[in-house]
Amino acid sequence: MSMTYDLVIRGGTLVTHDGIGVGDVGVKDGRIVTVGQLADADGGEVIDATGLHVLPGIIDTQVHFREPGNEHKEDLESGTRAAVMGGVTAVFEMPNTNPLTTTAEALTDKLERADGRAWCDYAFYVGATPDNAESLRDLENLPGCCGIKIFMGSSTGSLLVPDDVSLRHVLENCRRRVAVHAEDEERLKERSHIAAEIGHPRAHPEWRDVETAFNATRRLISIAEDLRRRVHVLHVTTEEEAAYLADHKDVASVEVTPQHLTLEAPDCYDRLEAFAQMNPPIREARHREGLWRALANGVVDVIGSDHAPHTREEKSQAYPSTPSGMPGVQTLLPLMLNHVHDGRLSLMRLIDLLCEGPNRLFGIVGKGRLAVGYDADFTLVDLAAKREITDDWVAAKCGWTPFAGMTVTGWPMATIIRGRPVMRDGQLMNEPSGRVMRFYEGAGP
């Protein structure tokens, strides 16, 4: 007796752990139940994916959706809407909101805000401070928490763990992999005069220089190795850090962003001024090439967008009063598909970075693979589609992207979450139905 499916995706080129080939996928009750040939299958809904590649649902493990406290920049509805418009099916959201996500009450508040409003699935980081260190072991295991986030250097917001004593205390009190923004706070303060004296965003990588990042990363790894504690170094930007972290994979996983793989100084600052300003900064070409080498060598584990929007008005102030950060969740996949088209990485490697890597590092239940038993999360892409990225396409509240005017090859055509299409051909479908992501106990390798 043949199975009746809720959804059949037919004739697409499936990208699975077993390789790339044409096939069908059968979905029932929100999960993948069959991968293969389903020509005669009875499906409640059938999507003809001929000519498209069917990827596992894309997971963005670093976004800042600004709610609560700065909803004029972004909120959980608009940020997750931008995510699904860009083919992203799940996100990890950061804790530097107002109030900060540093308590069980603040985490519960975010979960309640997301319920019924999020277009994609979600989980939230809890921020570490010297004051909440001893409660982190309980906090990191709360439902809806994807892990603990440390800011070693000041960025957006007031979360800060600047010294080695505090850093050690935080790491001693965590068991899951800890995500870290690694910039040296003392060096940032010592060099802040550079930004004011030059008075242009091209000063940003000079103020927040290579040593500011590299020194913090060395400090972090020294403590992590001493404690045998797993850390995830976010948005690595320097050739030096990439080479150093290759020798410390026993404790460190590595994230890079599409921005740092795509833009370079000084060109981006001349063209975009403060709209190219982020922390850590976009750097010159040698660092971008160093990141690509690390990616090719397998040192990079995941790519995250570091989606961090600000309004045009805020970005148009005089530097260094301008805030750091740029939108990115919606452009994450188009930019990386364009790099696939240009031969910088394979499609299989991209899936490792955006799907299987997050699953492996963070122990996400049921996500990251196109495989029987997993959630029916799919991102359908046209690898041959040429599109221009425009500000009008951006669904984030800020309404701009640093990549406006760029033509890319490769585009998300549909976003399907637990068997439910939420975006097709550039149009939202259905209603927000994102759910809290689940994690294995003691998650991550």
Among 184, 209, 306, 377, the one annotated catalytic = 306
In 3D space, the residue among 291, 288, 263 whose CA is nearest the CA of residue 278 turns out to be 263
Q: What is the 3-state secondary structure (H, E, C) of the chain?
A: CCCEEEEEEEEEEEEECCEEEEEEEEEECCEEEEEECCCCCEEEEEEECCCCEEEECEEEEEECCCCCCCCCCCCHHHHHHHHHHCCEEEEEECCCCCCCCCCHHHHHHHHHHHCCCCCCEEEEEEECCCCCHHHHHHHCCCCCEEEEEEECCCCCCCCCCCCHHHHHHHHHCCCCCEEEECCCHHHHHHCHHHHHHHCCHHHHHHHCCHHHHHHHHHHHHHHHHHHCCCEEECCCCCHHHHHHHHCCCCCEEEEECHHHHHCCECHHHHHHHHHHCCCCCCCEHHHHHHHHHHHHCCCCCEECCCECCCCHHHHCCCCCCCCCCECCCCCHHHHHHHHHHCCCCCHHHHHHHHHHHHHHHHCECCCCCCCCCCECCEEEEEEEEEEECCHHHCCCCCCCCCCCCCEEEEEEEEEEECCEEEEECCEECCCCCCCECCECCCCCC
- C-alpha 234/C-alpha 150 separation (Å) is 10
For residue 352, give every residue at least 6 positions away whose Cβ sits within 8 Å of its Cβ, in sequence order, or none.
none
CA torsion angle for 10, 383, 83, 319 (degrees, to 10)?
180
- C-alpha 10/C-alpha 378 separation (Å) is 13
In 3D space, the residue among 443, 399, 396 whose CA is nearest the CA of residue 178 turns out to be 443
Alpha-carbon 117 to chain mean position? 20
What's phi and psi for 75, nearest 5 deg? -140, 180
Q: Work out the number of other CB atoms within 10 angstroms of the CB of residue 134.
A: 11
Our answer to whether residue 184 is catalytic in this structure is: no
Report the catalytic residues.
306
